[in-house]
Amino acid sequence: MLETKPPSVTHPATRTPGTLKSLEGRADGLIPTSPASLRGTRPSSTTMVTFTLNGQSVTAPGDRTLLETADDHGIEIPRLCYMEGMRPDGNCRTCMVEIKGERVLAPSCCRYPTNGMEVTTNSARALTSQKVSIELLLSDVPETAYTRNSELDFWAKKLSIGKPRFRSRSQPAEDLSHPAMAVHLDACIQCKRCVRVRCRC
């Protein structure tokens, strides 16, 4: 059965290897900007498009992402930085899917369908990418009370990912600078949800 939202889980936990670097690169203009259709700018047109999703022909509004359209059709794709109602950012890379004719996998939370597109969410290549992203994130999460039952755990369990094979990187100390709030920075995956809702600005 489709579960678009993990039940009763805390927010994700740990940093995404490579994410910070790619964000810095974007900010510095070091990474070439891709066309809007590849980047996640929501198309203004709600025109219906017909494309193939896991071998099935699907007609969907052109302004719904691949991930949202998959949800609409009962196809589950892992996601951590995506949250309904929030601008998609493509930070965690757990939602990667394969698009026929494209050399690299695409983050389904910030790609929009076009007519004739052929999208596969569960090919060996897409699944491997989704799982490795989750495993990398897991490898940096300390096993403590405040990281258990997170969304990361939810997806790890769902995709049968056990103990990560990768060594943990050294983690930042907790931020106790605020009198009313403590932040376990070692549990942050840099999904940037908190920044996108501006609660940490």
- Give helix 124-139 / helix 151-158 axis angle, nearest 10°: 140
- List the one residue from 4, 11, 164, 171 that touches ligand SF4 (CB under 6 A): 11
- List the one residue from 173, 194, 198, 201 that touches ligand SF4 (CB under 6 A): 194
Q: Which is nearer to ligand SF4, 11 or 131 (CB)?
A: 11
- List the one residue from 13, 66, 70, 95 that touches ligand FES (CB under 6 A): 95
- List the one residue from 49, 58, 70, 81 that touches ligand FES (CB under 6 A): 81
Round to whole Å and give the CA distance between 180 and 133. 33
Residue 12 touching ligand SF4 (CB under 6 A): yes
Give the contacts of 27 (CB within 8 A, at least 6 positions apart).
Answer: none
Residue 75 touching ligand SF4 (CB under 6 A): no
Round to whole Å and give the CA distance between 80 and 109. 10
Residue 190 touching ligand SF4 (CB under 6 A): yes
End-to-end CA distance of the chain: 37
Residue 82 touching ligand FES (CB under 6 A): yes
- List the one residue from 64, 79, 111, 193 that touches ligand SF4 (CB under 6 A): 193
* From ligand FES, ligand SF4, none, interface partner of 132 (C-beta below 5 to 8 A by class): none
Give the contacts of 4 (CB within 8 A, at least 6 positions apart).
Answer: 71, 76, 84
The size of the interface with ligand FES (CB under 6 A), counted in residues, is 12
Q: How many beta carbons lie within 10 A of that of residue 80, not counting itself?
A: 28
Q: Which is nearer to ligand FES, 94 or 150 (CB)?
A: 94
For residue 64, the SS3 value is: coil
